[in-house]
A and B are shown apart, each in its own frame.
Chain A
């Protein structure tokens, strides 16, 4: 009988500091040669004695037996992971859940709206898009962070800006004094008027803090995006990953099993969805 709760060892092959509280960890597996995942899915990443936390994949899903997690140190588990270094092992199980609608996105324009660490689960999707660039229409990326210090994937972002048929807009909520900043300032929805894409034939993929997703959803609905083409990646407390511990329920949905990526239409009628 397969034990879905049993973790396996994954060794950290590199650790790259993204910001003062966030790092990207690269893993390579030796014992699980067939391990693969889809962008938007997640692993339960754990340390025996401390616990486990659900963490999205942030890397290119095309690479077999290799994956990356971009982890912000905010809780007990993630703060402990932050002390781990190259060569250390973490206990991992997965992949779990349903990712971004990669198939549905074929031939359509893509609007990515990301806030803070919310860019991590979308990075794998974008890396897939860059690889098969001609399979998708226009790509518009709106990325917001709290301050310029909080931006993730800083070396990669200029490359995304140069991709063909792509618009990339950055914003930060605050600019500390004596900090050079030439992009937009304000919450991510302040970029909406500058989007060069119409709602027709466009899928919107959204991930960020709940409060940001709430305003993004309202804003995009007002701009004519139908609920059926808005996709959100949700965060919930999770203990199992397979729809049994009950923590992540939204109405009849389990975020771990039926999500974490949901079409807004699937979840909008249920209570306690967005804080």
Chain B
């Protein structure tokens, strides 16, 4: 670890008050490798919540010079659970698909993704239903071997280490023992045991079209208007949310202007506003947009769900909105 800390910015799970957060570390001591879930997803270390894109400099002859500010530095994202690792690979489909976003791509290419399989299950975790966890597997066409660098499984007194990239092999400055068949079997046993612990579930059968067929279901207005505060917590903690806004900040003499982008949220009133109206002016419409995007539209757009079952939007909703319950209500056809 100490040699890695000299070469890379290492970001791992550490304790902060009552919560576990991903943060850059200076030594391995504070790492909490047995954590269940973190408050925020690690996405901000690849797709920052606020990022400088351009610096426009106005020269005395009134010429405008545009500087492109690309992120620098190598980093290791350490101890990322499979759901969050898949979420990063979901973001890859968004930012490195038909059009490549150079800011995201640069950061992503300079990141080593070290996955840690789960030992515990939180009360809002439903990655088992989504298929993204609790252990790392191929998910909806995404092979984690193409996208992750290393997979760790805690076997009690040692880690099972599985390599996906050459870069990952170079991380170890000491020789590793070769894993035995027993080690691999122990991994499978551990996985089966963790899978038994899930409380929250989501039935995916026919889900994208089921939601499209229920655009007028009363759950949207009941939960949207009756419970949702438009606080945007769900979209801030979501590991796959990618929407952004841009804003320009200028020096008073206009000699220097900086263009930033920052995370935006479909739950904000302004999000779908145009001159002359707003396409989602009600909280019900905005909540429906969030749920349908994650569980329906996303599949058409990117070939996978936009939800990895991390449960953060449920944990951090101040009024207890739970998208698995919304789906359950629609599936039951129940009208309240």
Contact = CB atoms under 8 A, between A and B. Distances in A.
Interface of A: 1-7, 9, 48-52, 74-75, 89, 91, 209-210, 235-237, 239-240, 242-247, 249, 251-252, 257, 269, 271-273, 275
A259 to B, nearest CB: 14
B259 A48 contact: yes
Contact of B245 (A239, A252, A257): A239
Contact of A252 (B94, B257, B272, B297): B297
Q: Per DSSP, are chain B's interface residues mostly helix, strand or loop, or mixed? A: mixed
Contacts of B34: none
Most-contacted residue by chain B among A50, A246, A269, A271 (CB, 10 A): A246
B272 A209 contact: no
Contacts of B99: 4, 242-244, 257
Contacts of A75: 275
B266 A246 contact: yes
> Which of A9, A51, A89, A252 has most B Cβ within 10 Å?
A252
Contact of B275 (A1, A51, A74, A251): A74
A160 to B, nearest CB: 27
Contacts of A5: 53-54, 101
B187 interface: no
A31 B94 CA distance: 30
Nearest to B97: A243
Interface of B: 53-54, 56, 64, 66, 68, 94-95, 98-102, 105-106, 212, 215, 242-248, 250, 254, 257, 259, 261, 264, 266, 271-280, 285, 288-289, 292-293, 296-298, 300-301
Closest 5 A/B residue pairs (Cβ) = A246-B243, A252-B300, A242-B99, A252-B297, A49-B250
A236 B102 contact: no
B64 A48 contact: yes
B274 A237 contact: yes
B248 to A, nearest CB: 5
A244 B101 contact: yes
Contacts of A1: 100, 102, 105-106
